[in-house]
Amino acid sequence: MPVLGMIRRFEGMIDAEWGSLSHGGASPWAAPLQHAVRAWGSPMSAARRRLPDEVRSAAVRAWLIFSCTLVSLMVAVVASYGHSWLLTPALLTTGLGVFGTLWCLLEILISRQIAAQRLRGPGSASPPAGSRETKRRPDPHRTPLQG
């Protein structure tokens, strides 16, 4: 049972420095965690618009290919340690995955640009709707200065 004694001693050291978590004491990470829990259940702010469908699908594709690339990289590392014949196919798959991930990142950038141009409208040089730059419209009740 020396391990349990060490764990209890460590918990005592943590309680002494940070306050007891089991008895309702304040801890330095309690406030950020409570804020994160509140923020998780709250609805999205209206200021943040939803991504267009083509951008979202390109981002999902990029994450899927990136995760498969990481898996193939881990297979290549394990195969190299084991001197297995799977090393060559795993390295080829990793190289293709890196190429595919970069291709998808480029696709995300291009589709974001296309979506931004679509928001501006055909042939207009105005900023996109909802941006900070707004067109200055003349006030109909204001008369120009005469002089």
pLDDT in tens, 16-75: 555 554 555 555 555 554 555 445 555 555 567 788 888 999 999 999 999 999 999 999
* Cβ neighbours for 93, distance < 8 A, ≥ 6 positions apart: 68, 69, 72, 75, 76
Please tell me whether the overall predicted TM-score, pTM, comes out greater than 0.85 for this model: no
Please indicate, yes or no, if residue 108 is contained in any of the structural domains.
yes
pLDDT in tens, 76-103: 999 999 999 999 999 999 999 999 999 9
pLDDT in tens, 108-138: 999 999 888 887 776 666 665 555 555 556 6
Please indicate, yes or no, if residue 84 is contained in any of the structural domains.
yes
Domain count, the chain: 1
CA distance 116 to 133: 14
Range of the domain at 80: 53-120
DSSP 8-state assignment for residue 126: S
